[in-house]
Each structure stands twice: as structure tokens, then as C-alpha cells.
Structure 1
Amino acid sequence: MKLKTVLLLSSLLLGSWVNAEPLRIVSEEWPPFIYAENGHIKGADKDVTEYLLSQLGYQVEWSLMPWRRVLREAEDGSADAILDIAPHPIHLKTYLFTDEPLSSHETMLFYAMDRPLAYRNIDDLSGLVVGVSPGYLYNNHRFVTSDTFRREPAPTFEANLQKLVRGRVDLVALSRPVGVYTSRALGIDHRVSYHPIPLSHSEFYLVFNRTSTWEEPARAFSKALKAFKKTDAYSHILRQYHLESVDGKLTLATPD
């Protein structure tokens, strides 16, 4: 059944790319939702998006880059769309959001297991250094504006987690599935964990340039995505990336 699903998706994709309209989507590496591996861009949200857009008559060109450049390129029209962005008020004014989220997950505070720190709320971060990603808003106003602790940016998730285990930061703010995936890939998942209280929760969307050109494609994509989530093909993509839904939020399944 899995092989049949993969073959069906592949045949539909190949068939729909004939005379397809080009569409350039930018994003930051955000595994397991979108990332590069052996020269190929893959990921759960990437695969879902590419499949649905192919059915709507588009051939997607993918580009991965730092997040601030992602935002710039979509805003100035160098790119047509962004994959996986949260509906912060600033972004809602700037970009045309689709109606249906691709994924939903929580941002957690990761800590080194040999240096556990208590965390209940933002007040507990006083005097600490927290690793963050440049340009991220974290859907938590107090977290991004408080002057009682220091937010220290790092260029990649890998760099943030390496700084954590080396004691250069006290905590790291990361999406739960992204943090778990990255720590496993680095081979340090036995050295880090995360507090059970989320820093924030966000849904993540495909967004287009805010022009009338993309209004109908955005509506069509939303409708197609909502229907696709009910299919076996969608469930297969999640399983392929070891993702599972827990209380409506995506997390990485525990390895066998």
C-alpha cells in the first residue's frame, strides 16, 4: 500500500509538471518540515505543498536561505511565496496567508540535561542567556521584548544546540519537532531535553506575495490542503518523516 501511494504521487507530480506555471518558494531549513539532504530539498511540509501545487498547475522552484533573507525576498517580489511562517500581526499585514495551516506545533525551551533549570514562566529566565534564531518572533511578545534575560542569536539550529551542550547558553528556544530532530541528527539527543511548558504555540502556513495575482491560488491551495489532510497519502507523508499528531500538534514519534 505504501509503495502504491508513493508511485501514485510520483506519477501525478510528473504528469502535472507538463506546461506548468513556475512558482518560486523560499524558506529556511526547518527539519523535518523542509531541509536539504544530499543535495535534495525534502520535508513533510515541502512534499505536501509541492504535490498540491502541482495539481493546481504549478512547478515549484525551491530555495533555502537564512530567515531574514526569506522575508526580504518575498516582500520585494524576488520570491512568490514562503513556506512555513506563523501568522504574527506583522506578517499578516505583509503577506497573503492561505486559510489552512500546513502544520501546528509548539516552541519549547531546550536545556542541557547536566544543567537542568526550572521554568514555569518568563520570570524564571531572569539573568539567563537563551539561544534564539535571527528574525524569529516566537509568537510570545514578552519573550522577544523582555530585558531581564539575554537572547543570543545563532545562525543555525545546530549551532544553538551545540552552544547549549557546551554551556555557552543556558536554554534554546526551538520548535519541539525541529529541536528533537536536530538533536538526534547531531547525536546529542541523550544530552538535551525540553521543559514541558511551551513557550508558545503556532500554526505554520504557505503565504504568497500580497497581490491580486495570488488570491485565487491561495484559496485553491487552502481548499486542496484541507481535503488532502483526510487522505492516506497525507498520513503516509507524515509517517515518512516520523511525525505524529498529538492533541492536534505535530511532534516526532519516538524511535523504534
Structure 2
Amino acid sequence: MFRLILLWLVMVGTAGFLQQASAQQEFLIVGEEWPPFEFKDGDKVVGIDVDIATHIFKEMNIPVVFKMLPWKRAWSMVEEGKADAVFSTSFKEKRVPYLIYPKEHMWMSEFVFFNNAANQLDQFEGYKTVVEKDLKVGIINGNSYHPSFWKAFPYQDGSTEYDGAKLSQLNKQLKGAVDIKVNFKKLASNRVDVFAADKVIGQFTAKLLGLNKDIGFYDVALYSKPYPMPFVKKSKYPDIEKVAMEFEKRLKALKASGQYQAIMDKWLK
């Protein structure tokens, strides 16, 4: 009897939460473009993460909107509490005061070095080759990358820990740009020699730009990195912590049901 009462209370609580959510304002998710996970297609924001978020928030009766911005502008909205969640944001201690990080990731990234196919080297050993040959490396300004990346390309003062405030002190091999599309155009025109990016995102972006025959990649994984969708602590959205917990629970269920993989396959196959 006690278990039945407890189950009834949980169901009533969840139903009440969802009913309350349906009457609330739109939920704003921001981020930078990371095709095929989130990107602009004309006036619409589309992608794998967009489909996942849309599916889950529909179940939760919460209207959701998406906004793609350069990373620095998106992060500014997070700091100021002008967004409710942010796509594809890796874990960093410095971000913890601003974000509620779920344990469940939205997607797992595998980073490789992309190259101009016409200039591809016969032998390539990852960071070692790039450093020894003094290759120009394209990066996205404001992206944290992996600790191994900064060890290979330390700041001019010798620091090997990412610091977004030290843009002017970047390793001289690193060449910053605003986003992935600009980096691929620079790669195609030989303004940089390599560009570190997620393998799926890179291939998809090159295809979108019509550069898939000009851009290749070295099949040496630099690192893998999980990307969750954190929720914004300063969000004005009611019960943001409850929303975060409910979303994560439903994301786990989506993966277990096979629907998550179906969404991935829709974009990648």
C-alpha cells in the first residue's frame, strides 16, 4: 500500500510539474553552430541536438526556441542569465558557477586534424607531426579544446591551461577564426595547414560548403570529449533545476528506447 501511495505521489508531482511547465514562457537554448548537431538552415535552427531537444521538451509540454550565435555572444547570454540552456558545452571548472551540468551527454566527440586534401602528408603522428613541421593550426576563438591540445600548443608565456582571456598570447602556430566554416575556407585556400575538429561535424560542414572533395582528415584521433547540454543557473525560467533533472531523465530514456540512434541516423546516413 505504501508503495502504491508513493508511486501515486510521484505521478501527481510529475503531472503537476508538466502542467505548470506548459503554461510558462518559451525555453531558450543558445549555442554556436556545430553542424550537424545544431546549425542554421535559412531562417531555421536544425540538427541532431535540435531534434533531440524538441522531442524531449514536447514530451514535457514546454515550448522551446533555439538561437545560434558566435560562441562569445552565446556565453555572454549564459553569464547574464538571458538564456535557459546552452548546446554542446564541455565541462570546465570555470563554467560551473554559471551552469547546471547533467551527467548524461548529448553526444560524444572524436577530434581529428582536417587538412587540405591536396597537401595531405603520407605520414602523420598527430600533435608530434604538427609541432615538428611547424604547421599553421586553425582554431575557433573561445573554444576550450582538450588539455592535450594546450600541452602541444602552450601559450607564449608557457602556460598549458586554457584561458579565454589570453587570446593575444596564443601559441604562434595557432590561427583563430570566428567559427568552423571560416576555418574550412582558410584550410581550402591554404591559409592554415590543419584544423582540429570533431570528425562528424567536420565532414558534414565540408559537405555543406561544397568542399568535401577539397578537405580531408588524418585518421588519428587526438582525443574524445563528451558534450552535454547544461542548463543556466541564472536563468529566469521557473524551476530550472527541476527542468534540468526531468530533461536528463528523458534523455536517458530516449537513448535506451533506440529513438536517439534513429535521430542520429537521420542526419548521418
TM-score range, shorter chain: 0.7 to 0.9
Structure with the greater alpha carbon radius of gyration: 2
- The question of whether the paired residues in 1 share the 8 Å contact of 2:27 and 2:63 is answered with yes
Which range moved further: 148-157 or 37-46? 148-157
**TM-score (norm. length: structure 2):** 0.77
Aligned with 1:197 (options 220, 237, 252):
220
Contact 2:28 2:85 in 1 (8 A): yes
Match of 2:88, SS?
strand
- Per the alignment, residue 261 of structure 2 pairs with 235
Moved more, 140-149 or 189-198: 140-149
After TM superposition, where is structure 1 displaced by more than 6 Å over at least 4 residues in a row? none
Which residue matches 1:74? 78
Aligned length: 229
Is 2:143 aligned against 1:120? no
Residues 32/100 of structure 1: CA separation in 2 closer, same or farther (3 Å cut): same
- Quick one: distance in 2 between partners of 1:35 and 1:171? 23
CA deviations on 1:75-109 (whole Å, 9 max, x unpaired) are 11111110111113323343111221111111211
One-letter amino acid matched to 1:162: K
- Residue by residue over 1:110-140, the C-alpha shift from the partner in whole angstroms, topping out at 9 and shown as x without a partner, is 0112112444243332222111111001123
Q: Report which of the two has the higher share of strand.
A: 1
Aligned to 2:204: 181
2:51 aligned residue (24, 47, 50)? 47
Match of 1:227, as an amino acid? A
Once the two structures are superposed, residues 201-224 of structure 1 have per-residue CA deviations (whole angstroms, 9 ceiling, x without a partner) of 111111112259422221111111
Q: TM-score, normalised by structure 1?
A: 0.81
CA distance, structure 1, for counterparts of residue 231 and residue 153 of structure 2? 26
Map residues 69-148 of structure 1 onto 2, 5 A cutoff: 69-117=73-121, 118-126=123-131, 127-140=134-147, 141-143=150-152, 145-147=154-156
Q: Is residue 25 of structure 1 aligned with residue 25 of structure 2?
A: no
Q: CA deviation at 1:53?
A: 1.9
Question: What is the one-letter code of the residue matched to 2:145?
Answer: Y
Deviation track 1:212-251 (CA, whole Å, cap 9, x = no partner) reads: 9422221111111001112243233112212xxxxxxxxx
- Partner of 2:229, secondary structure, is strand
Structure 1 gaps, min length 5:
1-15, 243-252
